[in-house]
Structure 1
Amino acid sequence: MDPAVLREDMVDGLESPAKGVLADEDVAVAMRDVPRHEFVDDERTAYADREHEILGTRVLPPSIVARLFEALALEDGDSVLIVGAGVGYTAAVAAELVDETDVHAVDIARPLVAEARTNLERASYGGVLVDRRDGAEGLPEYAPFDRILLEAAAVDAPRALLEQLAPDGRLVFPRGSRRQRLVSVSPDGEDREFGVVSFDPLLVEGEQSGAVERNRTTREDRERARRRAESRTGWEQEWIEWDDRVESN
């Protein structure tokens, strides 16, 4: 069957009352235009509302992609960072909503970076930048971003990503570990929830497919150490001032 017809059917299903996950007309048009079969190995099921696994990563089903972009609320002219490029499909949808040169994507797995670049080029989105990075560190060279989409779960919003947002920017990510909720967070801490989701956790160096070591606590330990140091600094300052006052008396 003609892929264009399959895309129409896919989007019609997402807009139907039975699923009700897609109401934004711009997102609907974008998902109708992106040739999803260029990003998924199995053309027969590329447009079915199901996930795929490619090179050790989960390719999100169309209904989840729709929910992410509803929360992201991209506008023409926005600069966007996709953390977790995967095979490149969500970056392609973003490139239909804004200029493709305003879309940046990173992934920690080198094979996926190569795959995403190949897929995006083949699907005529060669202007999207895809780089190999630790997602929690973002892409500071191209910051600030109006929108950042983190396609992995985290208990808290990674500090580096918040720092790379424009003043009125938004970070969309699944918050939580086992029980997750899709949230949109601003630099000043304001957030909004978009329902329950289930994503794999944000990986750190050594966890990507094919890595020798796996240690998910590396980033969490670093963040906890930073918080402890900051809390101790305030307490120590007060103690020093108190000592000084005692000595002066």
Structure 2
Amino acid sequence: MVQEDSYKHKGMRRALAKILTDKGIRDPRVLDAIMRIPRHFFFETAFLEQAYQDKAFPIGEGQTISQPYTVAFQTELLALQPGDKVLEIGTGSGYQCCVLLEMGVKVYTVEYIQKLHERAKAMLTYMGYKGAVYVHGDGSRGLPSYAPFDKIIVTAGAPTVPTALLQQLRIGGVLVIPVGDERQQKMLRLTKESDTKIRKEEFSGFSFVKLRGAQGWDAMP
């Protein structure tokens, strides 16, 4: 059952934004997006008290709705500009997609698990979000028919950086992706300075679900 928004929920979102600010999130556009999105829509009634806590929560199919800080951190690293063409790998619950749409960008989002793909598309449509392109498929391969992209965000932990994603990034574009082992990953920001030069920045450790697909964990021996 979807719960309607209320002044109480809006107050809880303001409190969450304060927590994120205290943790180092500085982009006011990201914080404003967090404050506008009714995150409790993604939760069953019995778990509403969890919706505005700064932690991940299971959504079924072995997946989670990401911790708000993680969502804000990845979004901030993208340095989004209005109108950017953004590829999201791992639609999941759809919450990260909502944040991107609130930032005024064009979103192409890919989900490996069909049930989650259908659920997220239905939820965001119900919430009134328009303009996103939803795809069920292997996100580790990207979406070559829609490339190039200004920004790419991966919301699952990868063993290595998929070459397909770098190839589909425009010159000057940014890829944000967690890379590491099955338990812990480093957040990487990769800026494509030319066809042959990638600038890499590393950030604190995170723990994501596995990136599935031919250039994800399914390709590992």
TM-score by length of 2: 0.87
Which residue does the alignment assign to 2:131? 127
Which residue does the alignment assign to 2:116? 112
From the CA coordinates, give the structure whose radius of gyration is larger: 1
Which residue does the alignment assign to 1:50? 55
Which residue does the alignment assign to 1:196? 205
Pick from 12, 25, 28 the counterpart of residue 25 of structure 1. 28
Once the two structures are TM-superposed, the CA of residue 114 in structure 1 deviates from its matched residue by 0.6
Q: For the residues of structure 2 that align with 1:117 and 1:217, how far apart are their CA atoms?
A: 25
Q: Which moved more, 1:108-117 or 1:71-80?
A: 71-80
The question of whether the paired residues in 2 share the 8 Å contact of 1:55 and 1:111 is answered with no
The question of whether the paired residues in 2 share the 8 Å contact of 1:154 and 1:201 is answered with yes
Q: What amino acid is aligned across from residue 46 of structure 1 in structure 2?
A: A
Q: For the residues of structure 1 that align with 2:210 and 2:74, how far apart are their CA atoms?
A: 16
- Residue 67 (str. 1) matches residue 73 (str. 2): yes
Which residue does the alignment assign to 1:239? none
Higher strand share: 2
- Cα distance change of structure 1 residues 35 and 203 upon mapping to structure 2, 3 Å threshold: same
The question of whether the paired residues in 2 share the 8 Å contact of 1:81 and 1:148 is answered with yes
Once the two structures are TM-superposed, the CA of residue 204 in structure 1 deviates from its matched residue by 2.4
- Cα distance change of structure 1 residues 176 and 134 upon mapping to structure 2, 3 Å threshold: same
Unaligned runs of 5+ in 1: 206-215, 222-249
The question of whether the paired residues in 2 share the 8 Å contact of 1:173 and 1:184 is answered with yes
Identity of aligned residues (%): 33
Highest RCO, 1 vs 2 (Cα 8 Å, sep ≥ 6): 2
What aligned pairs does 1:78-117 form with structure 2 within 5 A after superposition? 78-99=84-105, 102-117=106-121
Q: What amino acid is aligned across from residue 135 of structure 2 in structure 1?
A: D
Q: What amino acid is aligned across from residue 109 of structure 1 in structure 2?
A: I
Q: For the residues of structure 2 that align with 1:217 and 1:164, how far apart are their CA atoms?
A: 20
Pick from 175, 179, 186 the counterpart of residue 181 of structure 1. 186
Once the two structures are TM-superposed, the CA of residue 44 in structure 1 deviates from its matched residue by 2.2
Pick from 159, 163, 183 the counterpart of residue 159 of structure 1. 163
Once the two structures are TM-superposed, the CA of residue 145 in structure 1 deviates from its matched residue by 0.8
- Residue-by-residue CA offset, 1:82-126 (whole Å, 9 max, x unaligned): 100001000000001124xx1111011000001110111122113
TM-score by length of 1: 0.78
Higher helix share: 1
Once the two structures are TM-superposed, the CA of residue 4 in structure 1 deviates from its matched residue by 1.1
Q: Which moved more, 1:102-111 or 1:65-74?
A: 65-74
